Amino acid sequence: MQNLASLRLHATLLAVVALVTAVAHVAWRGRYAEERNKLAQKAASVRAREIEAAWKALPYTNASYGGATDALLAKIDWAGLSLSDLQRTKLQSRLDEVLQYLVAPGLGEYCRLKTEALHFRFNASRSTKLILSGASQPPDAQLQPASEPLSRDETDGLQVTRAVWEKLYGAEGGLSVTGLTGICLENVAAATCATNSPMALLQGSVRKGWTTATEAMNPGFVYPALKDQRTASGEKSLFFQLSFFAQSYNGEKAGPVYLCLGWLPEDQEWALCRMISDSWLGLHIPF
C-alpha cells in the first residue's frame, strides 16, 4: 500500500511539474511571439523610413512651375504605347488637366474632369456612405451653371460629391486639401493595358514599389463602357497607366503616384479611373 501511495504521490508531482512546465512554455512562447512582432514592426518602420529617405533624395521640379507638367509628359515614350493618333492627342490634353488638378485640387475642377461630356452613372460608394452617415442631406445647389438640364446621375453626383468634399475639408473634417508640390522627371513610367485593377498598377509595367499604398476615393462615378472590361463592340477596354515620384507639403513628404485612365469610345475621351499613392505623401483628394 505504501508503494502504491508513493507511486501516486510521484505521479501527482510529475503531473504538477509537467503542468507548470507547459504553462511556463506557453507563457514564454507568448512573450517570445510578442517580442518578435515588436521587432518585426520596428524593422518594418525603419525600412519604410529608409525607403522614404531615398524617395526624398530624388531630384524634383517645382510642381507650380509652368512647364513642370509639360516636362513630365515629354518623358513618356508615346511611340511605345498602343494608341491611335486621336487617343494620344486626347490623352496628352487630359493628363495635363489631371496633373494641374493634382497640383491645385479644387472641387469644381474635379467634378468637371469626372463628368464633362462623359456618359456615366452615379452610385454612392461605400466610403461615401460612411463619410455622410452623420451628415445632413447633400445641398441642392449646383457646383456650376449648366447650359442644359442635368440628368439624375449628374445631379446626384454633383450634390453628393460636394457634400463629401465639405465633410472632409470643411470645419468638421479636419483634412487639408493638399496637392503635389514637386514632380520628379526621372523614372517616369507609362503603359497601356486592358485592366483597371490595383495590382496591375502596383505590380505591373509601371511599378515603383510602396510602403503602404493608399487609394484615392471615388464618391461613386461609374463609367458603364468600362464596367465589364469590354466596349460595346466587344473589344477589350483600354486603360492607360502612369507612375512617377512626387513631393507634397513643400518637399517634406515624397513617394510614388500611380494613375489609371480609361478610354471611353462613345465619348472619345479619357475618364479618371484610379489613383494610388504611398501613404507617406499624405494625399487625401478624390480621383
d(CA 104, CA 151): 28
Amino acid at 77: D
Taking only the tens place, the pLDDT of each residue in 220-279 is 999 999 965 554 556 789 999 999 999 999 889 999 999 999 999 999 999 999 999 999
Which residues in 56-79 are b (16+ Cβ under 10 Å) and which e? beeebbebeeeebbeebbeebeee
d(CA 287, CA 273): 7
d(CA 77, CA 92): 12
What pairs with residue 262 in β-bridges? 239, 271
Residues 283 and 178 sit within 8 Å (Cβ to Cβ): yes
Cβ atoms < 10 Å from Cβ of 101: 19
Amino acid at 127: S
Closest C-alpha among 211, 286, 287, 200 to residue 243: 200
pLDDT at 141: 32
Collapsing DSSP to helix, strand or coil, 253 comes out as strand
Taking only the tens place, the pLDDT of each residue in 191-225 is 999 999 999 999 999 999 989 999 999 999 999 99
- Look up cell 442644359; give the residue: 148
> pTM to 2 decimals?
0.78
Closest C-alpha among 55, 108, 72 to residue 253: 55
d(CA 153, CA 245): 35
Q: Which of 38-52, 113-127, 144-158, 217-231 has the lowest mean pLDDT?
A: 144-158
